[in-house]
């Protein structure tokens, strides 16, 4: 059975629409460079915002901006009163190593830049302060992907605390926040990645797989058992749907739900 | 082979002694209530401090102090200029649930109290801010137990990134910080606890077990394979030493090393 992230997202949208109606809320979105995929993700956020009456402002910054300049911009944008929430669209543009050698711009220090976002506007829970509040159980919001995963568990009555969970890839946006949330909920889980020796020995025993590597066809049907739940951002081959009891499709799965949770957080932080 | 935490601790002490000699550093230690085990742990820290020329001051607070009062005290103690580092000795006294019902003091909110420690004096890396800096790779110190585990890996040339690691118990002081550190280092690991169904299926496959539950004889020889490395705070039955390739004894193992790392952090934060 496919997990209908789009449908759950629409339900959340309806709720949020009611909650945001009486307020004037604005979300600032920072894009560095011109990456097409990033643009698409930003467009989806703008569309969602429009549908629930939330304003957005996109700040376009040049791809060759320095770490210090970008950090300063994030702080400035954070301190503008009208901006109620601030997002830095990730990933930041990759820079050729030879640039640095040649005196060109060095790779941007992503975490340092994210730390320019003030905690009460950090809807993505990515700054050190916001993440620390979350990791120590002291935050009123959860990282959007965690909120999305939690909502899926609730919608499909999955008692995750008694399951064997496998997280594939512990990156900043998916695996890491989910792992920290599972720690805080006394769940049993394993963290593996594409470099893990005998990855299949983990995935084959999983009741639930949460995969956030971003590598197509990393998870194939031979690696899973019948009836597994797969929450995925696009790592699973489409054929896994035949063995999985529940499965998030690459389109209309975790993505729209995570977008919805960005706005849930924005409204929550502005209550 | 036993991991000689005491010996490594002595080596670190010698190094720290050289580093602390030219400075005047003071560590504040807060004890709430009269717990005997806590007193012993505090005595060990005082002894270590004396041996490297660091001053200590112990603040004894009553067991029935309220959360708000204790938080305020932690902030006050943190803001005293002479206190270069601040420790809240855990665990805080447990309170009988019937007390609350009867109008007595409620259970102290540990994390809220810890958040009264300012980040540059938080040698245990337990406040939300310090933990967030650590979790996002933005801290110049590591939680003491992480520093201890890392030192063991280095001292015994254990390439942990290519091993199957099992963390038993994800508590605030041991399992959780170690798990977060492993995430940040792209390691493969599982988090289990005493409630995990079929705990043995995890421990039996582990190359390295890090156990911080605080439950004697939780890990028995039948649960492990020959040659495993066990880093433990007292959960493993002594007989596991016969199968393990490396093993931290309950006394002179992880404990003294962790104490040494508290002072390593104190000196590092005051450089």
ipTM of the complex: 0.94
pLDDT at site B96 = 64
Tokens of A175: 């695996």
Please indicate whether, in this complex, the C-beta atoms of B197 and A162 are within 8 angstroms of each other.
yes
Q: Residues with Cβ < 8 Å from A133, sequence gap 6 or more?
A: A119, A139, B128, B132
Q: How many CB pairs under 8 A join A and B?
A: 101
Chain A interface mutation, best of B120, B182, B183, highest count of A Cβ atoms under 10 Å: B183
pLDDT at site B97 = 54
Q: What is the average pLDDT score of chain B?
A: 93
A167 three-state secondary structure: strand
Contact residues, chain B, for A175 at CB < 8 Å:
183
Q: Between B129, B162, B190, which is nearest A190 by CB? A: B190
Nearest Cα residue to B244 out of B258, B224, B264: B224
pLDDT at site A250 = 81
Chain B interface mutation, best of A124, A143, A183, highest count of B Cβ atoms under 10 Å: A183
On the question of pLDDT at B266 being above 70, the answer is: yes
Please indicate whether, in this complex, the C-beta atoms of A180 and B135 are within 8 angstroms of each other.
yes
Q: Are B140 and B268 in contact (CB under 8 A)?
A: yes
| Closest CA–CA distance from residue A118 to any residue of chain B (Å) | 13
Nearest Cα residue to A182 out of A166, A195, A194: A166
B159 lies within 8 A of chain A by CB: no
Q: What is the arithmetic mean of pLDDT over B194-219? A: 94
pLDDT at site A195 = 85
B133 lies within 8 A of chain A by CB: yes
Contact residues, chain A, for B129 at CB < 8 Å:
128-129, 132
A58 three-state secondary structure: strand
Please indicate whether, in this complex, the C-beta atoms of A129 and B132 are within 8 angstroms of each other.
yes
Tens-place pLDDT, residues B61-106: 999 999 999 999 999 999 999 999 999 999 999 876 554 455 566 7
Please indicate whether, in this complex, the C-beta atoms of A180 and B182 are within 8 angstroms of each other.
no
Tokens of B145: 């137990």
pLDDT at site A251 = 84
Please indicate whether, in this complex, the C-beta atoms of A133 and B128 are within 8 angstroms of each other.
yes
Q: Between A128, A138, A175, which is nearest B111 by CB? A: A138
On the question of pLDDT at B150 being above 90, the answer is: yes
Residue of chain A nearest B183, judged by CA positions:
A170
B17 lies within 8 A of chain A by CB: no
Please indicate whether, in this complex, the C-beta atoms of A133 and B133 are within 8 angstroms of each other.
no
Residues of chain A with pLDDT under 70: 21-22, 96-105
pLDDT at site A104 = 60
Alpha-carbon gap, residue B193 to B250, rounded angstroms: 19
Q: What are the DSSP calls for B88-140, one per residue?
A: E-SSPPP--HHHHHTT-PPPP-HHHHHTTS-GGG-TT--SHHHHHHHHTT--S
Tens-place pLDDT, residues B251-263: 889 999 999 999 9
Q: What are the DSSP calls for B142-194, one per residue?
A: --HHHHHHHHHHHHTT--GGGSEEEEE---TTTHHHHHHHHHHTT-EEEEE-T
| Closest CA–CA distance from residue A245 to any residue of chain B (Å) | 21
Please indicate whether, in this complex, the C-beta atoms of B183 and A187 are within 8 angstroms of each other.
no
Q: Between A115, A176, A191, which is nearest B189 by CB? A: A191
Residues 21..80 of B with a Cβ closer than 8 Å to A: which? Answer: none
Q: Are A31 and A39 in contact (CB under 8 A)?
A: yes
B265 lies within 8 A of chain A by CB: no
Please indicate whether, in this complex, the C-beta atoms of B135 and A135 are within 8 angstroms of each other.
yes
| Whole-Å CA distances, B139 to A162, A270, B128, B173, B263 | 34, 29, 12, 17, 16
A98 lies within 8 A of chain B by CB: no
B266 lies within 8 A of chain A by CB: no
pLDDT at site B109 = 96
Domains of chain B: 23-120 (3.40.50.10860), 144-255 (3.40.50.720)
Contact residues, chain B, for A112 at CB < 8 Å:
138
Q: Residues with Cβ < 8 Å from B232, sequence gap 6 or more?
A: B209, B210, B211, B212, B219, B247, B248, B250, B253, B254
A193 lies within 8 A of chain B by CB: yes
Residues 173..192 of B with a Cβ closer than 8 Å to A: which? Answer: 175-176, 179-180, 182-183, 186-192
On the question of pLDDT at B52 being above 60, the answer is: yes
Tokens of A42: 């930003």
pLDDT at site B23 = 74
Report chain A's C-alpha Rg in angstroms. Answer: 19
Contact residues, chain A, for B138 at CB < 8 Å:
111-112, 115, 128
Between B114 and A97, the higher pLDDT residue = B114
Specify whether the backbone of A268 is left (phi greater than 0), alpha (psi in -120 to 50) or beta: alpha
Please indicate whether, in this complex, the C-beta atoms of A128 and B138 are within 8 angstroms of each other.
yes
């Amino acid at each position: 059975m496919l997990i209908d992230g789009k449908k759950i997202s629409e339900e959340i949208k309806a709720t949020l629409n009611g909650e945001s109606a009486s307020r004037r809320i604005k979300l600032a979105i920072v894009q560095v460079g011109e990456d097409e995929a990033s643009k698409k993700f930003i467009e989806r956020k703008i569309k969602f915002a429009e549908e629930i009456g939330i304003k957005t402002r996109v700040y376009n910054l040049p791809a060759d901006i320095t770490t210090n300049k970008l950090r300063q911009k994030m702080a400035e944008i954070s301190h503008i009163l009208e901006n109620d929430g601030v997002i830095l669209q990730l990933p930041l543009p990759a820079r050729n190593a030879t640039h640095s050698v040649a005196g060109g711009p060095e790779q941007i220090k992503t975490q340092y830049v994210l730390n320019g976002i003030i905690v009460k506007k950090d809807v993505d829970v990515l700054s050190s302060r916001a993440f620390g509040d979350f990791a120590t159980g002291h935050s009123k919001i959860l990282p959007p992907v965690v909120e999305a995963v939690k909502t899926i568990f609730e919608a499909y009555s999955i008692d995750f605390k008694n399951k064997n969970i496998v997280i594939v890839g512990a990156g900043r946006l998916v695996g890491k926040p989910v792992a920290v949330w599972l720690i805080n909920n006394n769940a049993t889980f394993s963290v593996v990645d594409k470099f893990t020796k005998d990855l299949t020995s983990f995935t084959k025993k999983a009741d639930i797989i949460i995969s956030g590597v971003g590598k197509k066809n990393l998870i194939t049907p031979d690696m899973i058992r019948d009836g597994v739940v797969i929450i995925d951002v696009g790592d699973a081959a489409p054929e896994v749907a035949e063995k999985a009891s529940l499965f998030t499709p690459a389109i209309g799965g975790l993505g729209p739900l995570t977008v919805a949770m960005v706005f849930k957080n924005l409204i929550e932080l502005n209550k």
